[in-house]
Structure 1
Amino acid sequence: MKTSKNTILITGGGSGIGFETAKLLSQKGNTVIITGRNEEKLKAAAQQLGNVHYIVADVTKEGDVNALIERIKKDFSDLNVLMNNAGLVYLHKVSESPNAATFAREEMETNYFAVVNLTTKLLPLLNKQPEAAVINVSSIVAFAPGLSLPTYSASKAALHSYTQALRLSLAKDSNVKVFELMPPLVDTEFAKDIPSDTKISPQEVAEDLVRSLETNNYEVRVASTEQLYSNFLSQSDKAVLVLNRLEQN
């Protein structure tokens, strides 16, 4: 699909992957709108990026989502790309955490249910456009769970499954293309507490996404995600061990 002259909504666009994607796409002549809960962060990001608008919205709150939809319809009725990037993660060991269920509910609410809700509400608008796209940001852990982020991994696995179903559902009767961005660990504020010496830059992820949009590569398996995906297809139990750097017994 074309990567210029679009109108693009990026949730969680004030930092990390969302910010770097907004930067690249705004430089390519797109109108970009970023959302998030923190107005100060969004305002600073928009000022730094230039041709970028911001709307304060918490995608887990129905009132905020409805207000966001109305603002988009009013001021950005040519919206043709939605990037579901906002996320939440808790680090814990699922077998020992007394709050595992609470963490799981909150992560699922942000990483899965909010995506389904916002996408469903914006699809009628996206379907009106000559060319449109939904971009869901999942993760390498959609294929193999990380032991330090087990319930987050489950929420991304759910998002991966939903994204595939949405793509198939829209394939015949819609101009809406469905992309899934699957990065490994990325060096952002979001992942600062996740121990790893192999994090990649958010710029690399954004660049890979833009290339994939241009070539209609619908499953964007960034860097080490591609190798893990191959392991998952050939031997799923091995993929879990590789991801967590565990020795097979």
Structure 2
Amino acid sequence: MKTTKNTILITGGSAGIGLELAKLLTQNHNKVIITGRNQERLQQAAIQLPNVTTIASDVSKEADVNNLVNTLYTDFPDLNIVINNAGHALLYDITNPTANAFGKAADEMHTNYLSVIRLNEKLLPILKNQPEAAIVNVSSIVAFVPGALAGYSASKAALHSYTQSLRMALAETSAIKVFELMPPLVDTEFSRPIGGQNGISARAVAEAFVNALEKNEYEIRVGNTEQIYQLFRSSPEAALQAMNKSREQAQTHNS
């Protein structure tokens, strides 16, 4: 897959991994559009990324998605890469009857999984018109082994399964490539409640993505995601223990 002269949509592109992806991809001479729910953050991102188009849009809201899609079809008919990076995570006790685990998990599943399906479905026609195109779904190490964020882990596992199905289906009917970016713990504000300060940098994730995109490596397991994945293949129980031991150590370090 070419890594320059693309037109790229990045949802959740105003901070964290999405912002670093936007920085790196614009440096590589791509046309980049970023979305986000927070207008102030988008404005701050625009200052750092003068050649990037910003669109206020919430992937979980149907009206926002419809407006975004209309804008893309009208103003960016050459759109050929969609990076589904927007996500939502909540830390709560799934054993506590007063925690509203159902409502919170439903919110996470809607944003992290169902909203990705909706946006991809609406953008497939424009992607199919391009000589080379790609969909990138950003999941997580927890797609294989769950951690503290129960609902988030489940939503990313669902996204991983969907991504595999989408890749197979599009390979039979189109030239659209489907990638999955699987970061480990990353040092972002998003992951701070679970010890994100001990994670790798968002820039490292962005660099690993661009390198894998160029090589057509469809499952991009960044950092220790690869080690956890290999351990998971040999012993799911050992991988679960290792994953959650690391989490406990990170939380202890930050307490």
User: Would the TM-score normalized by the shorter structure come out above 0.5?
Assistant: yes
CA deviations on 1:62-118 (whole Å, 9 max, x unpaired) are 111000000001110100000000000011222225311111000001100100000
Structure 1 gap ranges (5+): none
For the residue of structure 1 that corresponds to 2:190, the secondary structure is coil
Amino acid at match of 2:119: L
For the residue of structure 1 that corresponds to 2:8, the secondary structure is strand
Q: Is the 8 A contact 2:128 2:175 kept in 1?
A: yes
Residues in 2 aligned to 1:196 and 1:136: alpha-carbon distance in whole angstroms: 21
Residue of structure 1 equivalent to 2:27: 27
Bigger shift: 186-195 or 82-91? 186-195
- How far residue 196 of structure 1 moved from its aligned partner, in angstroms, is 5.4
Query: Aligned pair in 2 of structure 1 residues 196, 190: CA closer, same or farther (>3 Å)?
Result: closer
Number of positions where the alignment pairs a residue of Structure 1 with one of Structure 2: 245
- How far residue 173 of structure 1 moved from its aligned partner, in angstroms, is 2.3
Residue of structure 1 equivalent to 2:250: none
Q: Is the 8 A contact 2:32 2:53 kept in 1?
A: yes
Amino acid at match of 1:60: S
- TM-score of the pair, normalised by structure 2: 0.94
Residue of structure 2 equivalent to 1:125: 126
For the residue of structure 2 that corresponds to 1:93, the secondary structure is coil
- How far residue 178 of structure 1 moved from its aligned partner, in angstroms, is 0.4
1:200 aligns with 2:200: yes
- How far residue 197 of structure 1 moved from its aligned partner, in angstroms, is 6.0
Bigger shift: 234-243 or 156-165? 234-243
Residue of structure 2 equivalent to 1:237: 237
Which structure 1 residue ranges, 4+ long, deviate > 6 Å from structure 2? Answer: none
Residue of structure 1 equivalent to 2:103: 102
- How far residue 208 of structure 1 moved from its aligned partner, in angstroms, is 0.1
- How far residue 233 of structure 1 moved from its aligned partner, in angstroms, is 1.0
Bigger shift: 41-50 or 29-38? 41-50
Amino acid at match of 1:130: P
Q: Is the 8 A contact 2:208 2:222 kept in 1?
A: yes
Residue of structure 2 equivalent to 1:67: 67
CA deviations on 1:38-61 (whole Å, 9 max, x unpaired) are 111112202211210011111111
Residue of structure 1 equivalent to 2:140: 139
Residues in 2 aligned to 1:196 and 1:231: alpha-carbon distance in whole angstroms: 22
CA deviations on 1:194-228 (whole Å, 9 max, x unpaired) are 12563010000000000000000000000000011
Question: Matches of residues 162-241 of structure 1 in structure 2 within 5 Å?
Answer: 162-195=162-195, 198-241=198-241
Residues in 1 aligned to 2:152 and 2:146: alpha-carbon distance in whole angstroms: 8
- How far residue 160 of structure 1 moved from its aligned partner, in angstroms, is 0.3
Residues in 2 aligned to 1:35 and 1:185: alpha-carbon distance in whole angstroms: 23
Amino acid at match of 1:128: N
Q: Is the 8 A contact 2:140 2:182 kept in 1?
A: yes
Query: Aligned pair in 2 of structure 1 residues 57, 196: CA closer, same or farther (>3 Å)?
Result: closer
Residues in 2 aligned to 1:76 and 1:39: alpha-carbon distance in whole angstroms: 21
Higher helix share: 2
Bigger shift: 124-133 or 231-240? 231-240
Residues in 2 aligned to 1:44 and 1:196: alpha-carbon distance in whole angstroms: 22
Amino acid at match of 1:178: V
For the residue of structure 2 that corresponds to 1:191, the secondary structure is helix
Bigger shift: 72-81 or 192-201? 192-201
- TM-score of the pair, normalised by structure 1: 0.96
Residue of structure 2 equivalent to 1:37: 37
Amino acid at match of 1:193: P
Query: Aligned pair in 2 of structure 1 residues 238, 206: CA closer, same or farther (>3 Å)?
Result: same
**Cα RMSD between the aligned structures?**
1.1
Q: Percent of counterpart pairs with the same letter?
A: 58
